[in-house]
């Protein structure tokens, strides 16, 4: 069936009182961005809903795209009929016929007369419309309590909307409606998922990645760029700050404190991220920490590490199990990238027995014994390279020369 419109519903934001229009505007802008690829479509905004008029564009791929819009809780493809009872019946019958349902499927019609001048009442409509449907699809059974299919019909002055399918969408808050945060993005499985979860709560994110040339390869960095690109698919433009971390790492590794190496590294990273957050107007740090997963994510470690920043630490995955995180990573499309095997600065110097219970006093003493550290942190911030990543666009780096894949070869 060729659908005429998509109906996008909002959840939580409808309870936002006076701020509601700001939330709706943000969601609308997001939808507009994504629909640029489908120029024939038109957007109509209504109280608590957005309609996308398809004008001949196919519904399925657009639903796939729009179900990633934060703030939208569900999407239904809609068939539009004229607001006349005969027309509604004809369309309703062909709507159900086109669903090709199996025998003994239960169904009901749920009609609603929004336009009160329409001559048939909601109750009457249910009756009038169901019987021709049953006649045409004799294998259907009516069940008004728990139907497998519910054909919903809303009669408005401008037309009657018929829909049945309800595709769950991302939910949460529209993009960027809850402020900005800095995401510590590694090449692992967790941090991209944490970034997605943060964006879903209406946060704008900028990403910080720490690299350790020449110990790590360009591939590790490209992997992170690719991860950020996947995230940008859910958001639009995303900034990625690439921080040179080699010198700090070398300094920390030279201090012979192997078992607290990770703690020291994480503290240095948070200092840099905090600095970058302040420069870019971000009000929180987001990490992929999940309680107890590794030594640096015990409560004691998080405590000592978090002491270096005054910004709120947001850890969307803190109580999530690894299996659930993997499931989410697969769902949002970062998993396959995350499992690529390149070393990054977090996996490079993994101590044999990292401390799960670092002592703040000792850590501070070690840091005090490394006078060059503060300077190096400042330098890392100043040498940070920032790139802007847009969905679907190839990132050209400063250092890159000729593209490898020549167009004439393909």
Partner 1 sequence: MKYFDHAATTPPYEDVIRTVGEVMAQHFGNPSSLHRMGEDSGKLLSKAREVCAHALQVNPGEIVFTSGATESNNLAIRGAMARYRQRGNHIVTTTVEHASVYETCSHLEQQGCEVTYVPVQANGAVRAEDVLAAVTENTVLVSVMHVNNEVGAVQPIAEIGKALKDRHPRVLFHVDGVQGYGKLPLSIRDSRIDLYSLSAHKFRGPKGTGLLYVREGVHLTQLLTGGGQEGGLRSGTENIPYIVGMTKAMRMAAERQPALASHWSKLSRELHEGLAGLPGLVVNSSPDGAPHIVHFSYPGIKAEAMLHMLEEEGFLVSTQSACSSKRSEPSRVLLAMQKGKDCALSGIRISLGEEHTEEDVRQLLGAVKRTMERLQIVKGGNR
- Cα angle 47, 52, 54; round to 5: 155
| Strand locations in 82-185 (E) | 106-113, 141-142, 149-156, 159-163, 167-168, 180-184
Identify which of residues 199 and 337 has a Cβ nearer to partner 1 in the complex: 337
Identify which of residues 20 and 219 has a Cβ nearer to partner 1 in the complex: 219
Cα gap 342→226, rounded to integer Å: 13
- Cα-based torsion angle of the residue sequence 196, 197, 203, 204 in order, rounded to the nearest 10 degrees: -10
- Cα angle 337, 342, 343; round to 5: 130
CB of 41 to partner 1, least distance (A): 21
- The span of 87-95, 168-176, 182-190, 401-409 binding partner 1 (CB under 8 A) equals 401-409
The count of chain residues that interact with partner 1, using the rule CB under 8 A, is 12
Taking residues 100 to 139 in sequence order and writing x for each that binds partner 1 by CB under 8 A, - otherwise, the string is: x---------------------------------------
Residue 342 contacts partner 1 per CB under 8 A: yes
240, 228 Cβ separation under 8 angstroms: yes
CB of 217 to partner 1, least distance (A): 6
Residue 408 contacts partner 1 per CB under 8 A: yes
- The span of 186-194, 212-220, 234-242, 253-261 binding partner 1 (CB under 8 A) equals 212-220
CB of 225 to partner 1, least distance (A): 13
Identify which of residues 211 and 257 has a Cβ nearer to partner 1 in the complex: 211
Identify which of residues 90 and 217 has a Cβ nearer to partner 1 in the complex: 217
Residue 404 contacts partner 1 per CB under 8 A: yes
Residue 18 contacts partner 1 per CB under 8 A: no
Identify which of residues 310 and 394 has a Cβ nearer to partner 1 in the complex: 394
Residue 119: strand pairing partners: none
Cα gap 181→160, rounded to integer Å: 43
Residue 204: strand pairing partners: 180
Tell me if 241 is assigned to a ligand binding site: no
Identify which of residues 67 and 239 has a Cβ nearer to partner 1 in the complex: 67
Residue 336 contacts partner 1 per CB under 8 A: yes
CB of 171 to partner 1, least distance (A): 24
Residue 405 contacts partner 1 per CB under 8 A: yes
How far lies 339's CA from each of 194, 254, 323, 333, 381, in Å?
16, 30, 14, 12, 28
283, 277 Cβ separation under 8 angstroms: yes
Identify which of residues 155 and 329 has a Cβ nearer to partner 1 in the complex: 329
* Among the listed residues 116, 146, 368, 410, the single contact to partner 1 using CB under 8 A: 410
Residue 201 contacts partner 1 per CB under 8 A: no
Residue 141 contacts partner 1 per CB under 8 A: no
Cα gap 98→87, rounded to integer Å: 17
Q: What is the CA radius of gyration of the chain?
A: 27
Cα gap 111→153, rounded to integer Å: 4
- Cα angle 399, 401, 407; round to 5: 140
Residues that bind partner 1 (CB under 8 A): 100, 217-219, 336, 342, 404-406, 408-410
Binding site as annotated, residues: 184-185, 209-210, 266, 288, 297
């Amino acid at each position: 069936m060729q659908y005429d419109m998509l109906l996008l519903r909002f959840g939580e934001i409808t309870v936002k009182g006076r701020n509601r229009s700001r939330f709706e505007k943000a969601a609308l802008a997001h939808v507009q961005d994504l629909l640029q690829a489908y120029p024939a479509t038109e957007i109509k905004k209504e109280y608590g809903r957005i309609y996308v008029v398809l004008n001949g564009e196919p519904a399925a791929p657009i639903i796939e795209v729009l179900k990633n819009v934060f703030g939208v809780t569900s999407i239904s493809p809609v068939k539009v009929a004229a607001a006349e009872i005969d027309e509604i019946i004809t369309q309703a019958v062909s709507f159900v016929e086109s669903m090709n349902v199996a025998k003994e499927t239960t169904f009901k019609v749920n009609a609603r007369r929004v336009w009160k001048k329409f001559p048939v009442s909601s109750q009457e409509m249910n009756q009038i419309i169901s019987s021709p449907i049953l006649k045409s699809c004799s294998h259907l059974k009516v069940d008004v309590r728990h139907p497998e299919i519910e054909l919903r019909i809303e009669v408005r002055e401008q037309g009657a909307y018929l829909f049945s399918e309800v595709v769950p969408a991302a939910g949460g808050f529209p993009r960027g409606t809850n402020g900005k945060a800095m995401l510590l993005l590694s090449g692992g499985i967790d941090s991209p998922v944490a970034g997605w979860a943060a964006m879903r709560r209406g946060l704008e994110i900028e990403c910080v990645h720490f690299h350790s040339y020449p110990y790590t390869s360009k591939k590790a960095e490209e992997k992170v760029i690719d991860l950020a690109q996947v995230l940008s698919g859910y958001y639009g433009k995303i900034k990625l700050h690439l921080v040179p971390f080699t010198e700090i790492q070398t300094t920390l590794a030279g201090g012979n404190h192997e078992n607290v190496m990770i703690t020291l590294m994480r503290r240095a990273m948070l200092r840099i991220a905090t600095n970058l957050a302040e420069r870019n107007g971000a009000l929180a740090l987001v990490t992929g920490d999940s309680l107890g997963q590794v030594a640096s994510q015990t409560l004691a470690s998080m405590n000592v590490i978090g002491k270096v920043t005054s910004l709120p630490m947001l850890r969307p995955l803190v109580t999530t199990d690894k299996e659930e995180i993997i499931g989410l990573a697969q769902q949002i499309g970062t998993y396959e990238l995350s499992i690529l095997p390149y070393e990054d600065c977090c996996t490079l110097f993994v101590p044999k027995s990292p401390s799960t219970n670092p002592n703040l006093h000792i850590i501070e003493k070690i840091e005090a014994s490394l006078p060059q550290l503060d300077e190096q942190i400042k330098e890392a911030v100043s040498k940070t390279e920032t790139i802007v990543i847009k969905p679907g666009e190839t990132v050209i780096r400063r250092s890159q020369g000729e593209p490898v894949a020549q167009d004439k070869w393909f």
